[in-house]
Chain A
Amino acid sequence: MTALLAMEFGKLGRLVSVRFALVVLALFPILWAYAPGVFDVYGFFIVSGFQVPALSLLSSMAFLLPLLVAITAAELLGLEIQHGTLPTVLLRPVTRSQWLLAKVLVAATVPFLALAWFLITSLAAGAFFGFGEFVGGTGLGRDGLIGVGVMTPGAALGEVLRAYATAAYALVPVALLAVLFAVLFMNAAAGALATLASLIVMELLVVVPALTPYLLTTQLSAYVTPTAGLGWVVALIAFYCAGFAAAAVIVFERKDF
């Protein structure tokens, strides 16, 4: 399993979607930090470099980040389909479930790697505003961007790190859903598109209020406004992850190649 994991992590850098995501996530914070219309959208001026990660996350968590995560996770399988290497690997004495679990584990790390890079580029983009004490909020805590007074750099960084970690965790089921669809369709593009379509359908299910706390899409905003306690969010996301991973393995076990 260690050899498989090392192999799969090694392939990450070869994915077109990863290179694309690296560029997009590097440019995106600059756009939001220095765009002339930011005041019109959010009604405030950036006063601290710690607010740029908030703006980046707030504006990308609804669509851009799920899109990038879904494409990358689906391409993990798509790479093998494209090169025709899937049967070759499966002829070796690794079990199908071992091989797919390695893919699933790598896919699960994609949101964390993406958001770590996004955080670095966001903080770099915010460097112009400085990282000292400031009056206001990071936008990622209870008091939003306005805050309740002076915020220390340590407290601000803590809020940003917590929010990015929560957001990354909330994106893991999106990655695993993309793997599941890629396994079902044996096509990376179809896998990513089906994932996005599923998220859009889930968004629409807010018209059924009883369902809202259970929806995956609801948890995507848990980094700023969890609908319930963080324990609930963690458990629900873990449930989604387990379900999607198990379904992917079951489908993959019976696939003909």
Chain B
Amino acid sequence: MENPSAATRPPAIETVRLTKRYGKRPIIRDLTFQVRAGEVYALVGPNGAGKTTVIRLVSGLAFPTSGTVRMLGEDPHERPSVRRRLGAVVEAPAAFYPYLTGRRNLRLHGRLAGGVAESRIGEVLERMELTPAADRPVGVYSLGMRQRLGVAAALLTKPDVLVLDEPASGMDPLSLHLVHRVLREAAAEGTAVLLSTHHLDEVVAYCHHVGLMEEGALIDQVDLSERRARHRAHVSDAPSAVALLRGQLWVREAHARGAEVVVALRHDDDIVALAPALVRGGIDVYGLGRDVFDLRAHYRERVEAERVRRTLADVPGPTYGRGGRA
């Protein structure tokens, strides 16, 4: 899912050295990241890493101890009106008045948001496949239905920014797929999406950036858009293949990984030139395909490495800005 124009847009969400302490205990440390319109940014990390606190700081529910949060250029604490353009789910499961029906809960949200047409309520209920249950009290909804209603409430006002804490927790595979599809569509329509999640396999398919959190710090930011644009070739001589490919104008970057060469192309269409170029250079090509990024392995490796580093050095984690190490 390429989104080349996103990088030129101003950030819809921006945190700069965001820090939150409870007493002397740091919960969030020096967090800097950006999410632009049309991008999906996933915060991942072990339980207790601070993902929920970040979601609450960004949405204006909690106050930073230091650092700044900007939503569409505004501080959500100083300018609550900016929340007109925010859709959010900050509880898992999403919280609603259990004695009201799903539809009436959404009406209430609509009223608080300054008024939403009844047709729009029907539309989001339909989109989240909740129409058959719309007139039942939320108290009888399953966990997954509540979560879907949460996403429906977040989408209600056609927000420019979506902030979601574990939006798909406790969902069956079909609902899980639905929620991620809806988030992908929202981003394609230009909404900036920030979510925290443990569903690495789902987010790797469509997120633009992933922020890895551990102990309140952002230990890595991965540009998945760039990762998805890579290809790998199993070749007879990987070092020679790298040297050859680095000399090609249509190759942005090439490096060896065992018997394979991993190539980032300037344009996806240039893939057709890859094998012929290698063969012309006297290198046999045994296989060619997309370089599927293993986020799960990367996550495990980075979190474990960070834990070892902290144990040895006993120092706070690093801060990565946009374009940081991936």
Contact = CB atoms under 8 A, between A and B. Distances in A.
Given A7-B111, A83-B97, A88-B96, A93 B81 contact: yes
B61 A257 contact: yes
Nearest to B91: A84
Interface string B160-191: 00000000000000000000000000000000
Interface centre among B61, B81, B82, B98 (most CB of A within 10 A): B61
Interface in B111-163: 111-114, 153
Contacts of A7: 108, 111-112
* Interface size range on A against B: 20 to 34
Contacts of B91: 84, 87-88
Contacts of A85: 95-97
Nearest to A94: B112
Contacts of B108: 7
Contacts of B81: 93
Contacts of B60: 90-91
Sorting the interface of chain B by its residue count into under 10, 10 to 19, 20 to 34 or 35 or more gives: 20 to 34
Contacts of A91: 59-61, 83, 86, 88, 90
Interface string B74-93: 00000011111010101100
B80 A88 contact: no
A14 B100 CA distance: 11
Contacts of A89: 112
B293 interface: no
Given A88-B90, A91-B86, A92-B113, A254 B63 contact: yes
Interface string A90-114: 1111111000000000000000000
B95 A92 contact: no
A210 interface: no
A257 B56 CA distance: 7
Contacts of B217: none
Contact of B112 (A3, A83, A84, A256): A3
Given A3-B111, A92-B109, A83 B95 contact: yes
Nearest to A90: B61
B61 A256 contact: yes
Contacts, number: 62
Contacts of A95: 80
A89 B95 CA distance: 10
Interface string A16-49: 0000000000000000000000000000000000
Given A93-B80, A93-B84, A94-B80, A257 B62 contact: yes
A254 to B, nearest CB: 7
A4 B112 CA distance: 7
Contact of A92 (B90, B99, B112): B112
A47 to B, nearest CB: 46
A88 B151 CA distance: 12
Contacts of A94: 80, 112
A91 B95 CA distance: 12
A92 B56 contact: no
Nearest to B95: A84
B194 interface: no
B94 interface: yes
A88 B113 contact: no
A93 B63 contact: no
A14 B56 contact: no
Contacts of B84: 93
Nearest to A13: B99
Nearest to B83: A93
A91 to B, nearest CB: 5
Interface string A219-241: 00000000000000000000000
Contact of A256 (B56, B82, B99, B111): B56
B114 A93 contact: yes
Interface of B: 56, 59-63, 80-84, 86, 88, 90-91, 94-99, 108-109, 111-114, 153
The 9 closest A-B pairs by CB, nearest first: A84-B95, A92-B112, A256-B62, A257-B61, A93-B84, A93-B83, A3-B111, A91-B88, A85-B95
Interface of A: 3-4, 7, 14, 83-85, 87-96, 254, 256-257
Given A87-B90, A93-B84, A94-B112, 11 more contacts: A83-B96, A84-B95, A89-B112, A91-B59, A92-B83, A92-B112, A93-B83, A93-B112, A96-B80, A256-B61, A256-B62
19 contacts: A3-B111, A4-B112, A7-B112, A83-B96, A83-B97, A85-B95, A87-B56, A87-B61, A88-B90, A88-B94, A89-B112, A90-B60, A91-B59, A91-B83, A91-B90, A93-B81, A96-B80, A256-B63, A257-B56
